[in-house]
Amino acid sequence: MPEIDETIHLSPYNPEWPALFAVEAERIISNVHVQVAVEHIGSTSIDGLLAKPIVDIMVGIQHTDTESVRRGL
C-alpha cells in the first residue's frame, strides 16, 4: 500500500454541518426509490468536536436490488 503524505486539516465544529447533511439526505431519499436509512456519521456529526470538514453519510438498505440503489445514488 502506498504511503500517503498529506496534511490533515481540522476545523472547529460548524453548526451548519447538520443542515448540510439534511440537504444531502433528502437528495438521497428522493433519488433512491426504495426505503433507505440515511445517517450522518463521523466527526462532523458530533457537536463541539474538531473535525475534518467533510460531512460523512452512511446509507443502509434492506433491498436486494443494489443496482437500482447505486443508480439512484
Give the model's pLDDT for residue 20: 98
Q: What is the pLDDT of residues 1-27, one digit of tens each?
A: 788 888 989 999 999 999 999 999 999
Q: What is the DSSP string of 8-43?
A: PP-B---TTHHHHHHHHHHHHHHH--S-EEEEEESG
Tell me if 5 is assigned to some domain: no
pLDDT at residue 61, as a whole number: 87
Give the bridge partners for 38, in sequence order: 59
pLDDT in tens, 55-69: 999 999 886 778 878
Q: What is the pLDDT of residue 3?
A: 87
Domain of residue 54, residue span: 17-72
Number of domains into which the chain is organized: 1
Q: What is the pTM of this model?
A: 0.82
For residue 67, is it within any domain?
yes
Please count the other Cβ atoms lying within 10 Å of the Cβ belonging to residue 22: 12
